[in-house]
């Protein structure tokens, strides 16, 4: 059972907008910034979003993050076939004294 | 440029230990901490712990306390992670990641090290 809850799967067609949710609690997302990572098959994760909505340099503005209360979401617009990957949210948990990941969402581009 | 290069794959027997290294390039070693994250086959990401490359302070995840040790060698710009008393469910890819603020902000990752535990 993950500390942060994500839907196991999501899908969309090329060009569409897809949103992936991440639900937590007051001890993690409710008080700490959220990060999002993307993992392509057989590779290491890559940082997509930090501080809830900030993009590292090189990450396209098709990717956007938001947070409200103890939930966060990642939106991907203009979906492309190369976006097919696993997406993970992460946040520090004050009660458990560590960073925790969601269970991951497998995005399929139909 | 920033790179984290990990040691190669390992095959270990249950009850033994494994030590994985993570050598960093392209930045001042002592500026940032390093976290270790593992991923069992077909599973998600699991944080194992963090070590400050500046002073060696550590923070281990509850699940790994007493069984994992993280150390640094400043002269070699290298971080080590040792897991003891290996079990079959420790079979996983182990990643090191540069932690910008010690709270899970991982901006660079190693390539991963597969550790297989099998009798």
Query: What is the residue-averaged pLDDT of chain A?
Result: 96
In chain A, which residue's Cα lies nearest the Cα of B46? A101
Mark yes or no for CB contact A99/B47 under 8 Å: yes
Say what the pLDDT of residue B102 is: 80
Identify which of B45, B104, B110 has the shortest CB distance to residue A92: B104
Which residues in chain B touch residue A36, judged by CB atoms under 8 angstroms apart? none
Q: What is the pLDDT of residues B45-56, one digit of tens each?
A: 999 999 999 999
A50, B47: Cβ pair inside 8 Å? no
Put simply, the answer to whether B61 touches A44 (Cβ < 8 Å) is no
Check if A46 contacts B (Cβ < 8 Å). Answer: yes
Q: Largest alpha-carbon pair distance within chain B?
A: 41
Q: Cβ of B106 under 8 Å from any chain A Cβ?
A: yes
Give yes or no for B44 touching A (CB within 8 A).
Answer: yes
**Over the stretch B90-111, which tens digit does the pLDDT of each residue have?**
999 999 999 998 888 999 999 9
Both tokens assigned to A43 = 């590779």
Go through A68-80 and write b for each residue having 16 or more CB atoms within 10 A of its CB, e for each that does not: eebbbbbebeebe
Q: Once rounded to an integer, what is the mean pLDDT over residues A9-23?
A: 97
Q: Residue B88 burial by CB count (10 A; 0-12/13-18/19+): exposed, middle or buried? A: exposed
What is the mean predicted confidence (pLDDT) over A28-32?
96
Question: Tell me, what's the pLDDT at B103?
Answer: 84
Nearest to B36 by CA among B91, B88, B113, B101: B113
- H helices of chain B, in order, are none
Q: Does residue A2 surpass a pLDDT of 90?
A: no
Supply the pLDDT for residue B101.
85
Report, as ranges of residue numbers, the positions in chain B whose pLDDT lies below 70.
none
Number of inter-chain CB pairs under 8 A, A vs B? 60
The 10s digit of each residue's pLDDT in A39-88 is: 999 999 999 999 999 999 999 999 999 999 999 999 999 999 999 999 99
């Amino acid at each position: 059972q993950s500390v942060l809850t994500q839907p196991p799967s999501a899908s969309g067609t090329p060009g569409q907008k897809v949103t992936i949710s991440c639900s937590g609690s007051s001890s993690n997302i409710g008080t700490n910034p959220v990060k999002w990572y993307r993992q392509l098959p057989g590779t290491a994760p890559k940082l997509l979003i930090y501080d809830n909505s900030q993009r590292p340099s090189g990450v396209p503005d098709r990717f956007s993050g938001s947070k409200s209360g103890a939930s966060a979401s990642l939106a991907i617009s203009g979906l492309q076939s190369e976006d097919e990957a696993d997406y993970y949210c992460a946040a520090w948990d004050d009660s458990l004294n560590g960073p925790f990941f969601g269970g991951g969402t497998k995005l399929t581009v139909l | 440029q920033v790179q984290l290069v990990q040691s190669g794959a390992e095959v270990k027997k249950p009850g033994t230990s494994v030590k994985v290294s993570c050598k960093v390039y392209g930045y001042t070693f002592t500026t940032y901490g390093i976290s270790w994250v593992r991923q069992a086959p077909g599973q998600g990401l699991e944080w194992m712990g963090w070590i400050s490359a500046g002073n060696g302070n550590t923070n281990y995840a509850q699940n790994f306390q007493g069984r994992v040790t993280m150390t640094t060698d400043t002269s070699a710009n290298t971080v080590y992670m040792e897991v003891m008393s290996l079990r079959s469910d420790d079979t996983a890819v182990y990643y090191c990641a540069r932690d910008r603020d010690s709270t899970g902000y991982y901006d660079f990752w190693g390539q991963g090290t597969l550790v297989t535990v099998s009798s």
